[in-house]
Amino acid sequence: MAEVPEPTHRRRSHAGTRDLERYAGLFAERTGVMRSSAMRDLMAITARPEVISLAGGLPDTSTFPPQSFAAQMTRIAQESAAKALQYGPTEGFEETKDCILEVMGAEGMLPDPDDIIVTTGGQQAIDLVCKTLIDPGDVVICEAPTYPGAIPTLCSYQADVVQVECDEDGMQVEVLEQLLADLRAEGRRPKFIYSVPSFQNPAGVTMSLERRHRLVELARAQELLVVEDNPYGLLRYGGEPMPPLYQLDGGDFVIYLGTFSKILSPGIRLGWAVAPPPVMEKIVLGKQAADLCTSTLTQYFVREYFAERRWQRYVGDLVEIYRGRRDTMVEALRDNFPAEATWTEPEGGLFIWATLPDYIDTSDLLAKALRADVAFVPGQAAYVDGRGSHSMRLNFSGVNEDEIREGVRRIGKVIAEQVELYGALTGEQALPEPRQDPAPNVLPFRKAGEAG
C-alpha cells in the first residue's frame, strides 16, 4: 500500500467570526429553528458520575442477562455472519416484522406486514413521518406537554406546532375538537395529530377509552391522520389495558409507531412504523434517502432473541422492577415534596410529571439541584412556547430504588428552600394545607392559557 502521510493534527472547529458568517450564509433556513439551549448546557453537567439523574429516559439494561446476549451474538456469528454484516432491505427483514407482529399482537393489534417498516429507533420513525407529511408552516397538533424529543424533529421540518392540554385522562379531545374547528375557520388543516396515548412521555398519563374512541372518530370524520407513538404500552404496572388507537381505527387514519427500545434495548436502535400503503410508500422512499436500511446486525439480534421465546417473560421482569421504582418514587414525592406540589401517578411507562407552585421556575431550580448532585428535566422542554416552567419530568426506570429515594429527597430539599424563601419574600407563610390524598384524579396540569 502507498505511504499515507501522518495527519499533522486533529482539526477542531476553529472558525473565526468571519468564517462563521460565511457558513451562516450557507445554512438552510430550517437551522434557524434548530436551537441549542441553556438547558442543554445544564444537562451536560448531569453526566457527572456523582449526579443522580432522574432526567434521562433510560430503560434498565443491566437486567438483560449477559450470557443470553453472548449466546445470541455467537449464534449470529456462526450461522449468519455474512448476511448479518450485509445491507438489508429498506423496509426491514420479514423476520424482524414477525417479531414486531408478536409485540403488537400482545396489545391486540394485527397489522399487514407490508404496512410495516423497520426504522433506526422510534425516533427515526417520527422523523420519517414528518419528512413525508410536513411542509414548512404546516400545522401539527400534539399534546401539552409532549415528548421533548419530538419537538426538535417537528421544528426542524418547520411545522407550526400547536399543543392541546392534557389532564389525567390524556389529551383533552374536546379541546382538540374546538381547535380543529378554529383551524378550519382559518382554512388550515393540520397535517397530523401526534399523541403518546399510553403512559405518556413526559406526563405519565393515559388517554381514557372514551377519548380514544372520540379521537379516532374525529380522525375518520375529518380525514385527519393521527400518529400514535406507543413505546411504553407493554410496561403497565396497574389498571386495565387500553386498546391502542391503531386497533380502534383499523389503521386507516392512524399511523402507528413502535420500538424495541423499552422492551429490549435502546442501544440496538430498532423501531418501526405502520402506515396505510400510500403513506408507507413515501416513508420507504424517505428511509432509503436517509440511511438505506436499518442495521441488519441488530435485526438479526432481535430475531435470535425472539426465537428463544422469552421476550414476554423479560418484559414481565421489567414490569416488576419498574413497578417497584414507580411506587418508591411516588412515596418519596409524598414524603419530600411540598403540599402545593402535584404529580401524576402513572399506571405504566417511565415518567412522573410534577408541578410546583408557580413562583418556582424549574430551569432555575435545576441549577440549584445540580449543586446538590441531582437532575431532572425542566418542564419547558416539553412545550414549544416556553410554558411548563413550573413543572418537571422525573424518570424512575433508569436508577435503583435507593437512588430514587435519595434523588427525590435532594430535589425536595431545594424546593423546600425555594418555598421558604418565597414565604419570607412575600410575608406569606407557605400554607401547610392538609395534603390532598393522592387521589387518581388529581389535576396536575395547569389549564390552557393559565401557565406562565
Would you tell me which residues interact with other proteins (CB under 8 A)? 9, 11-18, 20, 24, 27, 32, 35-38, 40-42, 44-45, 48, 359-361, 364-365, 367-368, 370, 418, 420-422, 424-427
| Min dist. Cβ of residue 120 to other proteins (A) | 27
| Min dist. Cβ of residue 33 to other proteins (A) | 10
- Round to whole Å and give the CA distance between 206 and 312: 22
Q: For other proteins, give the closer residue by CB, 1 or 425.
A: 425
Q: For other proteins, give the closer residue by CB, 184 or 371.
A: 371
| Min dist. Cβ of residue 134 to other proteins (A) | 22
| Min dist. Cβ of residue 323 to other proteins (A) | 34
| Min dist. Cβ of residue 44 to other proteins (A) | 5
Number of C-beta neighbours around residue 374 at 10 A = 26
Q: For other proteins, give the closer residue by CB, 36 or 62.
A: 36
CB burial of 315-339 (b: ≥16 within 10 Å; e: otherwise) equals beebbebbbebbbbbbebbeebbbe
Q: For other proteins, give the closer residue by CB, 5 or 386.
A: 386
Q: For other proteins, give the closer residue by CB, 21 or 182.
A: 21
Q: For other proteins, give the closer residue by CB, 37 or 63.
A: 37
Contact present, 145 and 379 (Cβ < 8 Å):
yes
Which three three-digit cell numbers place residue 293? 436500511
| Min dist. Cβ of residue 367 to other proteins (A) | 5
| Min dist. Cβ of residue 38 to other proteins (A) | 4
| Min dist. Cβ of residue 362 to other proteins (A) | 10
DSSP 111-176: --GGGEEEEEHHHHHHHHHHHHHPPTT-EEEEEES--TTHHHHHHHTT-EEEEEEEETTEE-HHHH
* DSSP 8-state assignment for residue 331: H
* DSSP 8-state assignment for residue 447: P
Q: For other proteins, give the closer residue by CB, 53 or 328.
A: 53
Edge-to-edge strand list for the sheet holding 351-355: 342-343, 351-355, 391-395, 377-378
SS3 277: helix
Q: For other proteins, give the closer residue by CB, 12 or 309.
A: 12
- Round to whole Å and give the CA distance between 118 and 273: 7
| Nearest 10 degrees: Cα torsion 282, 130, 274, 286 | 30
Which three three-digit cell numbers place residue 128? 420519517
Q: For other proteins, give the closer residue by CB, 207 or 365.
A: 365
Q: Give, in order, the Cα–Cα distances in Å from 239 to each of 8, 235, 347, 386.
A: 62, 11, 6, 33
- Round to whole Å and give the CA distance between 74 and 57: 30
In the chain, the amino acid numbered 115 is: D
| Min dist. Cβ of residue 54 to other proteins (A) | 18
Which three three-digit cell numbers place residue 98? 414477525
End-to-end CA distance of the chain: 65
Contact present, 138 and 191 (Cβ < 8 Å):
yes
SS3 310: coil
Q: For other proteins, give the closer residue by CB, 98 or 364.
A: 364
Q: For other proteins, give the closer residue by CB, 271 or 412.
A: 412
- Round to whole Å and give the CA distance between 195 and 229: 6
| Min dist. Cβ of residue 159 to other proteins (A) | 19
Provide the CA 117 distance to its chain's centre, in angstroms. Answer: 20
| Min dist. Cβ of residue 9 to other proteins (A) | 5
